[in-house]
Structure 1
């Protein structure tokens, strides 16, 4: 072998192998620092083996597809150079921190942040708007507390905000109405109080405010602009007064849950929304008769008005005159309804084979024996019905 060839081979043999990070983009150093600070803020004892955060090890690049990788889950990165962290979605491992991890505010490209189903606590910082690219924020099922920062309204790209199952208190900030891109707002299972704000984000598809202490009447000025609203989950609050006929006529509304409130009346107009599928107004204080107009909603298949203060008979239209889809779920138990159940509800083969689930029990109905499943539980005692109607008759 010539000395020249030997020299070439020697030179090649001492050239170090090309590092993977030099052949493709690596993570921005500032993002790496933010991730490292975030990991340091988590109580070590709350990071179980085999969880996402237990795999994080900064001896490898978070965004580089190296082997072995020390960032097996919870992160997504951009394809830019350098790569930026675009999403953090933690697994529900019980990670714990006594405050919101402020280091995450240093990730300018973050579009999705989910800390859901862990044990984070403390108030939210007013500086959340620094995450200007954020589209989805899910902090549900934690122990965050304090007021909801009005500054969240500056997150103009936000399409989904889920703060449910925490300990937030105070009122819903009126400033949230400026979130024109927001399609889902879930503030359920907190300690929020007071009336609803004068306006809500205009393009909502889903509004969930269940299990708070919200009060006052449901105002048309708040809801009429929500022309895209499909789901309204407002149960287990302290809403009062009448539910106006306009509410069930919201053009895109499909599901309504206003159970466990203090509503006193239900208004139904001659018009009927084409999309409404399910309405739950159970466990309120609604008086008056069953609105015949509910039978005119063509898609309405599930109706619950159980445990209110309704009187009078069950409209014949609920069975033979129901427009469109017949009732498949009909719960009217726990009222003061009287008279006879419309022919067909208790007969075999009712609704030409349609199966009805529900209850007409605990009323003042005649010829509705508890032996029939739909009439269970038993009707109210005659003495209670006499007090309600001023006679001993339950109706003819």
Structure 2
């Protein structure tokens, strides 16, 4: 019996050591290990805190080995068989350095997230070799130069975030070839030129805080039946915002504030069509004409800003009758007449501002009437004489 127990213990020890050796040494692809080494080597040693993920990247052990008690404790993930690197998600530790072109050797990478650090220099064109990449997040770094056209070869890409960098130049004209792209955020860079044709499956588009110019054309947004969010504020977009734009079938939120739009065309979606439009911000443009009454036809519209434009005429009575409307900003225009009394009955529930216009009898006790109306002399000048009520 004792011999049997000894034999059993021997087998258990053999199994333990063989398993332990397998787990410690791992099977990570040598090309992936080399790429990781090059990636870490391109980062300044002085910018790697002792407590950070990268500090635990000690290549005396295998990157995919388990358990990760002291080495490679965070920052990367491996395939189920521990042979390939599938994700790099760095902590926001202030890492400073360039993005190694050898990153392209990690061909099974699905996520590359270096957000909130201090990487600088160009985005290497070799990144196009990451054919399985689904998420590319380089947000809040110091990358410069243009967006390499080769990124449009990342056909599996679903989320693309290069916001808060110093990128320049035009958007790649072939960006519409990213047929799986759902979210695109290029906000707060130094991008120029017009908006090219966009990927047809896009849900969210954010490119605010750049120097984009030209008008918004229907060809750029053609086929975007799922587009929900458009954030293009703080650019130099000009011309007329045509009626087709607000009729995009899934549109919910629009921010085009702080541009140079001069006219807006609004068609009501009609009874046969539905609209999910909830919030629109067209403030701080150069929009002329009357307050568009057809916005009332959007059943879910809750927030509308047309502040600080060049609008004239009266506030449509229909605005005070729209039950879904909760925030209305019309301040900083040249609106005349008396505002709809329902705004001040205590039943409309609308907040916002009608101030800094040429309105008559706007109750000074109401928050809606702040700031105070323009001086009569400015209103007379705007209307070539005394504005009619």
Common topology (TM > 0.5): yes
Q: CA RMSD in A?
A: 2.3
Q: Map Cα deviations across residues 223-274 of structure 1 (whole Å, 9 max, x no partner).
A: 1321111001011111111100110110010000000000001111132551
Q: Which residue of 1 aligns with 2:20?
A: 20
SS of the aligned residue for 1:38 comes to: helix
CA distance in 2, matches of 1:110, 1:271: 43
**1:8 offset after TM fit, Å?**
8.7
Q: Which residue of 2 aligns with 1:209?
A: 207
Contact 2:200 2:222 (8 Å CA) reproduced: no
Q: Which residue of 1 aligns with 2:99?
A: 100
**1:184 offset after TM fit, Å?**
0.8
SS of the aligned residue for 1:104 comes to: helix
**1:30 offset after TM fit, Å?**
2.2
Structure 2 residue 262 is matched with structure 1 residue 268: no
Structure 1 residues without counterparts, runs of 5 or longer: none
Structure 2 residue 307 is matched with structure 1 residue 306: yes
CA distance in 1, matches of 2:305, 2:21: 61
Q: Which residue of 1 aligns with 2:246?
A: 248
**1:370 offset after TM fit, Å?**
3.3
**1:62 offset after TM fit, Å?**
1.8
Contact 2:336 2:358 (8 Å CA) reproduced: yes
TM-score of the pair, normalised by structure 1: 0.91
SS of the aligned residue for 2:219 comes to: helix
Q: Map Cα deviations across residues 328-379 of structure 1 (whole Å, 9 max, x no partner).
A: 11110000011111021012x222xxx3220000000111133311100000
**1:56 offset after TM fit, Å?**
1.8
Classify 1:67/1:131 alpha carbon distance in 2 versus 1 (closer, same or farther; 3 Å). Answer: closer
Q: Which residue of 2 aligns with 1:360?
A: 354
Structure 2 residue 44 is matched with structure 1 residue 43: yes
CA distance in 2, matches of 1:40, 1:270: 58
CA distance in 1, matches of 2:380, 2:290: 17
- Quick check: 253-262 or 30-39, which moved more? 30-39
Contact 2:268 2:298 (8 Å CA) reproduced: no
Q: Which residue of 2 aligns with 1:371?
A: 365
Classify 1:55/1:366 alpha carbon distance in 2 versus 1 (closer, same or farther; 3 Å). Answer: same
Q: Which residue of 2 aligns with 1:228?
A: 226
Q: Which residue of 2 aligns with 1:319?
A: 320
CA distance in 2, matches of 1:342, 1:279: 21
Q: Which residue of 2 aligns with 1:143?
A: 142
CA distance in 1, matches of 2:131, 2:268: 46
CA distance in 2, matches of 1:67, 1:44: 22
Structure 2 residue 108 is matched with structure 1 residue 109: yes
Q: Which residue of 2 aligns with 1:177?
A: 176
Q: Which residue of 2 aligns with 1:133?
A: 132
Structure 2 residue 381 is matched with structure 1 residue 382: no
- Quick check: 14-23 or 54-63, which moved more? 14-23
Contact 1:21 1:64 (8 Å CA) reproduced: no
**1:23 offset after TM fit, Å?**
5.7
Classify 1:259/1:23 alpha carbon distance in 2 versus 1 (closer, same or farther; 3 Å). Answer: closer
SS of the aligned residue for 1:339 comes to: coil
**1:17 offset after TM fit, Å?**
3.5
Q: Which residue of 1 aligns with 2:34?
A: 33
Contact 1:41 1:101 (8 Å CA) reproduced: yes
Q: Which residue of 2 aligns with 1:350?
A: 347
CA distance in 1, matches of 2:217, 2:202: 17
How many correspondences in the alignment?
381
Q: Which residue of 1 aligns with 2:166?
A: 167
Q: Which runs of structure 2 are paired with 1:52-131 in the superposition (5 Å)?
A: 52-66=53-67, 68-80=69-81, 82-97=82-97, 99-131=98-130
Q: Which residue of 2 aligns with 1:331?
A: 329
Contact 1:235 1:259 (8 Å CA) reproduced: yes
Contact 1:370 1:377 (8 Å CA) reproduced: no
Contact 1:361 1:370 (8 Å CA) reproduced: no
**1:200 offset after TM fit, Å?**
1.1
Contact 2:42 2:99 (8 Å CA) reproduced: no
